[in-house]
A and B are shown apart, each in its own frame.
Chain A
Amino acid sequence: MKRHAPTLLVTLLLCGAVSAFAQGGGPVSLKLSMLAVKTIKIDGKPTEQLLPNPGSVNPGDVISQVISVKNATAKAIRDLPVQLPVPKNTVYLAPEKGLDGTRTMYSIDGGKTFAAAPLKKTITVTENGKSVQKEVEVRPSEYNAVRWTVAELGPGQTLELGYRIQVK
């Protein structure tokens, strides 16, 4: 049974040590990394190289955002939602390769609502001089937040989630 999540304010009043549950400490910890994706040639073959913590990036550069989720408790945690916005001045490209992609949902309204791909939206077009409503598919470049729901994270387990963005 899921308890109704209290408001953040209540949570803050009750749990003065929220920060204790931030990076590194607490039963669940999230560690976020930003890596610059570079393509170099090794023996004539283009090869991808990921460079962590780029101090600066050029417009057009691809960045890989990876979250490391750790269950520091002794029990398994189920149905854990993890959320990472698409930062300003970047566009969503694609999920990070080789990571868990289960139950990934996307938002185009700044994180208010999420849905699984493909998302749809309604637009108004003019056909034969009349305004008509049309349902179209949302492109990934329109995503501005991503939420994973981790089904189960075992005690002491670490899971990596992530996606790639491109600097505008």
Chain B
Amino acid sequence: MKVNPKFLIMMSALAAGTALAAPAPTATSAGTTAGTVITNTATATFTDPSTGNAATPVTSNTVNTTVTPITGFDIVYSDSSADGTTAAVPATYTEYNRPNTLAGATVVTAYTVVNNSNIDNYVVNIVADTTGTGTAPTSVKYYLKTDTTFANEIFSVTLANGGTKEIVQVITIPTVATAGQTYAASPKGTAPAVTTGTVQFPVYNESSNVNTPVTPAANGDLQFTLATIFIPALTNTPNPNPATGNTVTPPTPTTPGTPDNPVSPPGTPVSTDPTKPDPSTSGYSDPTTPSTAIAQNIAGNNQIAYPISGTTTVTFSNVVKNNNSTLSDTVRLFPTDATNNPIGTLNTTTGVFTLTDGTTVRFLSSTGTALPLDANGYPVLTVPSGGSTPYRTLVSTFPISAIDPVPTTILVGVSSGNKAGAVKADATTTDKIVPPGLQFGDVPNTGTNPDGSLTGPGGNAQTADPSATASTAPVTDAGINTDRTVVFPMIISNTGEYNDTYTLQSDTITFRNKDGTTTAVKVKYVDATGTPLPTNTAGDYFTPVVQDNTKLTVYAVLDVPATAAATDGTSPDVTTPSATADYTFVQKATANYSGAVVTDSVKDQITIKAVGSLAVDKYSRINAAIDATFIGTAAAKNPKTANPKDTLNFAIVAKNNYNAPVKNFVLKDSNSLGTTNVYTYSDFQSASATLTGFGVGAAAYFSTDGGTTWATSVTAASVTAANGVWVYVNTDGTLGTNNAPTAGDVVPTGASVQLDISVKVK
């Protein structure tokens, strides 16, 4: 009689109703061992009536019959899980469905061969069935369970009537197995026929098995073990809770910044581009360089560092999470690219990567200590199953071009240590550095980049006409040189990779006035509409936000005082500047966030135009000296009538009304037009000169011979009608030939020479 053992076991487990471990499989023998002879003999004792002998024994004939063989066996899961599985072993079969199998591993699972026949020494041959395996295993072998060192591979077991044998199946996974591959195998039994000897029986295959009465065997009644190769389940991200480093609290921006709070967050105005977050979003400061703010875009899996000018190292906080709930993972860290392969040159002693552009990348623990290195020099990090381990990414010597810096982007890769094959990133995160950059200078002659070598627009100093009006707003046109306002268009070029605002130092120019006093004027900065930029309490101006890689034109503007003395066009920034040199001023732009400072390398220059006139007035008076009061009267210049022997006094007053000294000044009492010379009709009496507004040591020299010779006084005898009296003022202390004027003799601004001549009418 044959009863399916598994059915009974399942039934008993259900009846028990508790979650006890299933009992080990047992065999259900078909009955008395095949070949057994059943034999019997009857006996009796009687009293022979003929002899009277009692208890005479009698035996009957002996009868025999032989028990026939009944075939049957099964190979089952040793934990009594229902067989009849395919390569797709249910996940609930925790013993026989093995995820997280590593490449090169051996998968050992337990099976039991049960003898359901009545045959003693029943032989069952065992082979591996790999139908449906995703990838062929390297090998599948069987051993007795007691052979714990797998010393003797078996190909069959021999069972006693009603007996079982415990075996193990060993699947060897190839060392090059890749993530997600599946390997499946089942033992399959065949009990061969015996056709000789006293007990003979046919072959019996496992697929003949009937699991429960009436129900046909499913899937050949096989019992698979399934191994799935470990699939790395890693994420690599910014660390949203860096243990060190302060949370960034950027200054609150007002539009576009108040005069005393010009510092702007790099992203201002607030960036809506999720690839360019700014520190006004959540972030932290670099734990080793707190002046560097690092903004995190958790959703985009990147973070951006905003180092200030001069920073050459950035330390990012990152974290690796191991989403595999079973295995710890010792991962490798390295810089990578879109291929997911490591890039750069690895120093296997220090674990430092050097990229082709010279950037170095090093990975440290979250507290900044060195990480252990594996046999190939890769830094490694152990992440517990289901857990996270933070780390730091230290990026140094990244390129910062002096002309046009570009971002440095490091793609950090993490490679699972539980997989076979080459190091390759299973997850990546992005750490990006946006360096600052600044150029500042005049609008160039060609192109658009500022040129600090120019002294003004077009490479020329700006000229102001102090006699003209000041320009009205918008005062941004530097081309006009005819008014009293000078304009220098300047370019602030934010060559860096993040937005910033800039403070412009306002220099003060002290102008020399023509009257010898000075007037101080502060340089003003205006925008393209002519509106002055906002100023801070120090009086410096600051710009609105200049976005990364864009330029802003501002205008340095100044109204020259109307009283300014002319300048001579020479630069004051020489070793021995002239007394009437042009004016220059300092222009300095300072980035408010990055701290970069650029000064206009060649100062811009202002030339004051010479304006004004030389006024010459002639006065005459009869028989009285000409004094300042007389000069002021209306009749002073009128023609006079003189009588013979009247004393005729003339005063010729020449005044320098220019804003510049006048050179080569000679005042003459002769008319180049050749009108009547007074000396024809009168006798020279005397001549003198009065100097006003000249410096100490200035002296008048007279000439009566048409400028050939000069002397400090005039003799009457020398005066001729033809030449008259000339006078010049020696101011430089140097006399020419015959006391002639020299080039250094100047009539200062506002100075006057009065030549008084007295004659007597003949």
Q: Which residues of A contact B (CB under 8 A)?
A: 2-6, 8, 11, 15, 18, 21-23, 26-34, 36, 53-60, 63, 65, 67, 69, 73-85, 87-90, 167-168
Contact = CB atoms under 8 A, between A and B. Distances in A.
Interface stretch (B53-61, B556-564, B662-670): B53-61
B49 A57 contact: no
B67 A56 contact: yes
Q: How large is the interface on B (under 10, 10 to 19, 20 to 34, 35 or more residues)?
A: 35 or more
Given A32-B41, A77-B49, A57 B66 contact: yes
A56 B70 contact: no
Contacts of A87: 38-40
20 contacts: A8-B57, A21-B57, A22-B59, A28-B44, A29-B58, A30-B44, A32-B42, A32-B61, A36-B65, A53-B63, A57-B68, A59-B1, A59-B32, A73-B50, A79-B47, A80-B46, A82-B42, A84-B43, A87-B38, A88-B38
B182 interface: no
Contacts of A67: 42, 60
A167 B38 contact: yes
Given A58-B31, A67-B60, A79-B47, 7 more contacts: A3-B54, A4-B55, A15-B53, A23-B59, A27-B48, A57-B38, A73-B49
Contacts of A168: 31-32
Interface of B: 1, 30-32, 36, 38-50, 52-68, 70, 118
B65 A55 contact: yes
A106 to B, nearest CB: 15
A80 B30 CA distance: 40
- Of the listed residues A6, A27, A69, the one surrounded by the most CB atoms of chain B closer than 10 A to its CB is A27
A3 B40 contact: no
Contacts of B40: 32, 34, 65, 84-85, 87
Contacts of A80: 44-46
B254 to A, nearest CB: 90
Contact of A26 (B30, B47, B52, B58): B58
Contact of A23 (B32, B57, B61): B61
A83 B42 contact: yes
Contacts of A29: 58, 60
B67 A73 contact: no
Contact of B65 (A8, A32, A34): A34
B65 A54 contact: yes
A11 B55 contact: yes
A89 B38 contact: yes
Contacts of A75: 49-50
A9 to B, nearest CB: 11
Contacts of B30: 59
A27 B36 CA distance: 34
B1 A77 contact: no
A88 B40 CA distance: 9
Given A30-B44, A55-B66, A167-B67, A11 B56 contact: yes
A89 B67 contact: yes
A29 B40 CA distance: 16
A31 B60 contact: yes
A42 to B, nearest CB: 25
A120 B105 CA distance: 63
A59 B53 contact: no
A160 to B, nearest CB: 12
B61 A31 contact: yes
A154 to B, nearest CB: 11
Contact of A3 (B47, B50, B58, B118): B47
B65 A56 contact: yes
A166 B153 CA distance: 42
A59 B65 contact: no
Contact of B49 (A54, A76, A84): A76
A107 to B, nearest CB: 13
Nearest to A86: B40
Question: 9 tightest CB-CB pairs across the interface, nearest first?
Answer: A59-B31, A5-B55, A30-B60, A3-B54, A75-B49, A32-B60, A34-B63, A82-B44, A89-B32
Contacts of A74: 49-50
B53 A77 contact: no
A65 B32 CA distance: 19
Contacts of B61: 22-23, 30-32
A18 B42 CA distance: 15
A85 to B, nearest CB: 7
B50 to A, nearest CB: 6
